[in-house]
Amino acid sequence: MYKRIRSLREDRDLTQTQLADYLNITQATYSRYESGNLDVPSLVLIKLSNYYNVSIDYILGQTDNPKRT
C-alpha cells in the first residue's frame, strides 16, 4: 500500500506537502504513511481514493485494477 500511495502522488507530480495540506495533516505524518511507519487511517484512505479516483482496494494492493466499481 505504501508504494502505491507514493506512486500515485509522484505520477501526478505532487509533493508530500501538497497531499498533506489536502488531507489536513502535517507533511511529516504523510511521510510516515508513505514509508510505512504509520498506518493510514480509513478516513485518509477514503480521501486518497476520492482524490486519485481509484478504488481503496487498489491503494491497499488487493487488485492491480485502479478503476472504481
CATH number of domain containing 16? 1.10.260.40
Mean pLDDT of 5-23: 97
DSSP-based helix, strand, coil % in the chain, nearest 5: 60, 0, 40
- All 3 cell numbers of residue 14? 505532487
Number of domains in the chain: 1
State the pLDDT confidence band at 30, using cuts at 50, 70 and 90.
very high
Residue 33 within a domain: yes
Task: Give domain status of residue 53, yes or no.
Answer: yes
What pLDDT is recorded for position 69? 62
Q: Are 9 and 52 in contact (CB under 8 A)?
A: no
Contacts of residues 44-51 at CB distance under 8 Å and 24 or more positions apart, as own/partner, are 47/22, 47/23, 48/5, 48/8, 48/23, 51/22
